[in-house]
Amino acid sequence: MKIAVVGTGYVGLVLGACLAENGNDVICVDKDLSKIQTLKAGKMPIYEPGLEEIVRRNHALDRLSFSTDLPSAVHASDIVFIAVGTPQGEDGSADLQYVLAVARDVGRAMNKYTVVVDKSTVPVGTAKKVHATIAGETTHPFSVVSNPEFLKQGAAIEDFMYPDRVVIGCDDERSAATMQELYAPFTRTGAPILLMDTASAELCKYAANSILATRISFMNEIANVCELVGADVDMVRKAIGADARIGTSFLFPGVGYGGSCFPKDVKALVRSAADHGYDFEILRAVDAVNQRQKSRLVSKLQAHFTDLAGRTIALWGLAFKPRTDDMREAPAITIVNRLLELGAAVKAYDPEAQHTARQVFGDRIELCSKSYDALRDADALAVVTEWNEFREPDFGRMRQLLKHPVVFDGRNIYSPEQMKSLGFTYYSIGR
């Protein structure tokens, strides 16, 4: 199929690369010339395992191209995906200005029947707004489809190539047939293609992310209760996870969720519900719990040291999760900013988010190129992101480098018994 993907951010680039990998001819469009030039040179603007290899291979085979010329891409394509950002407004709502701007440009460029697909995460009713925007610019027939993405950062390629399900919201049989044909190769193992109306499809993404965020905040609350009553959250987690009705996913306590999806989507669904006269109380609480949890490690640091002024704290992990360089809404941002407010100095290391961290923090913290460099002369270590390389460190070397053998484990990756036997003062979440 001939496909255009407008927007070369995380979703758009993964989408375009994976569709090209399956034999489609894909043009990725972006108005940012420097980003297009970077992609043409085979360099990635984001870190996602496996993405660079797929982009380079399909670009070399002429199945994947990059352009700033949206009209030409629309002319050459039967399907146009809109995959631009929907940033969070001050009131929590999703800002649709970029989605509707692309819709307007696509309508102006349209020269034949085209299926226009909303791939951006958008609130209910967006498909109708996109349809009205395009209709105001063209007399050519077209369809608007809602096709939400369910990609996990760090595993996006696998998620796209082998999806749990494909959700397609459409209002006519012609676009439904086109989308089913497009996704058929990705669902040969039996994953369902769920056809529904556009409003239901639009709500699916918000609902999925919100329930996962709810599980995280719930377990963080349970962990906090465990500390008060002397219970072990790991034992509680295993017990409730063994219940087939609950399962084990997203039951690990920590320092809160972050990233480009959960925080924004929770707030957007709360706002969307409010716009329709409904107070989504559970999700408001989920967001409030998450904001508090991001400061949990700092509270433990304050309780241990009393005064953090003049202290140096080492941080392992800055990205909001492993296998990504994304720091949007990352707990590390809240932790670092609070430590700096309290007069502490911060030395930090992350395997992939160093460049991103420099953009976020500037010169306010010391960014180290090696994990152990961050420990040298630090008063304590705070583990913020559970990268694999932090799971089995050289504990003897850690003790030698730290001024005090104190570890604040925000992801519960170490055993309290082992850390005690090794001579560390150890704090974790809910244990």
- Give the mean model confidence (pLDDT) for residues 245-271: 95
Residue 346 has pLDDT above 90, yes or no: yes
Segment 192-215 mean pLDDT: 96
Domain segments of the chain as ranges: 2-188, 205-292, 294-427
Tokens for 20, please give them: 């090209």
**103 contacts: CB under 8 Å, gap ≥ 6:** 82, 116, 129, 130, 133, 134
**Which CA distances in Å does 152 have to 87, 231, 326, 416, 429?**
19, 32, 12, 30, 24
Region of poorest pLDDT, from 35-39, 91-95, 220-224? 91-95
Q: Which residues contact residue 21 at a Cβ distance below 8 angstroms, ignoring those fewer than 6 apart? A: 54, 57, 58, 63, 161
321-336 tens-digit pLDDT: 999 999 999 999 999 9
> Could you give the residue numbers annotated as active site?
261
Query: Residue 232: how many CB atoms within 10 A of its CB?
Result: 15
| Residue pair 297/309 in contact by the 8 Å Cβ criterion | no
d(CA 36, CA 229): 55
pLDDT of 94 strictly over 90: no
**What pLDDT is recorded for position 89?**
81
Q: Is the pLDDT of residue 91 over 90?
A: no
* pLDDT of 87 over the 90 cut: no
Share of the chain above pLDDT 90, in %: 97
Query: Does residue 161 surpass a pLDDT of 90?
Result: yes
Please give the pLDDT value at position 154.
93
According to DSSP, residue 207 is labeled: H
Q: 2-188 adopts what CATH topology?
A: Rossmann fold (3.40.50)
Q: How far apart are CA 351 and CA 235, in angstroms?
A: 31
| pLDDT band at residue 214 using 50, 70 and 90 as cut-offs | very high
Residue-level pLDDT at 106? 98
Answer whether 2-188 and 294-427 agree in fold.
yes
Beta bridge partners of 383: 316, 409
Please state, as a whole number, how many other Cβ atoms lie within 10 Å of the Cβ of residue 392.
Answer: 9
pLDDT band at 340 (very low <50, low <70, confident <90, very high): very high
CATH class of 205-292: mainly alpha
Band the pLDDT of 208: cuts 50, 70, 90.
Answer: very high
CATH homologous superfamily, domain 294-427: NAD(P)-binding Rossmann-like Domain (3.40.50.720)
Segment 7-34 shows an average pLDDT of: 97
Spatial separation of the C-alpha atoms in residues 429 and 431, rounded to whole Å: 6
Mean pLDDT of the chain: 96
- At 297-312, the pLDDT tens digits run 999 999 999 999 999 9
Exposed, middle or buried, 95 (CB in 10 Å: 0-12/13-18/19+)? middle
**Residue 374: predicted pLDDT:** 98
pLDDT band at 92 (very low <50, low <70, confident <90, very high): confident
Q: For residue 163, what pLDDT band results from cuts at 50, 70 and 90? A: very high
Q: Average of pLDDT values for 162-168?
A: 97
Residues 119-160 pLDDT 10s = 988 999 999 999 999 999 999 999 999 999 999 999 999 999
Residues of the chain with pLDDT > 70, as a percent, come to 100
Question: Where does the pLDDT of residue 88 fall: very low under 50, low under 70, confident under 90, or very high at 90 and above?
Answer: confident
Distance of alpha carbon 219 from alpha carbon 396, whole angstroms: 32
SS3 94: strand
Sheet of 312-316, strand order: 366-367, 345-349, 312-316, 380-383, 406-409, 425-427
pLDDT tops 90 at residue 93: no
Report which of 362, 337, 352 is spatially closest to residue 385, judged by C-alpha positions. 352
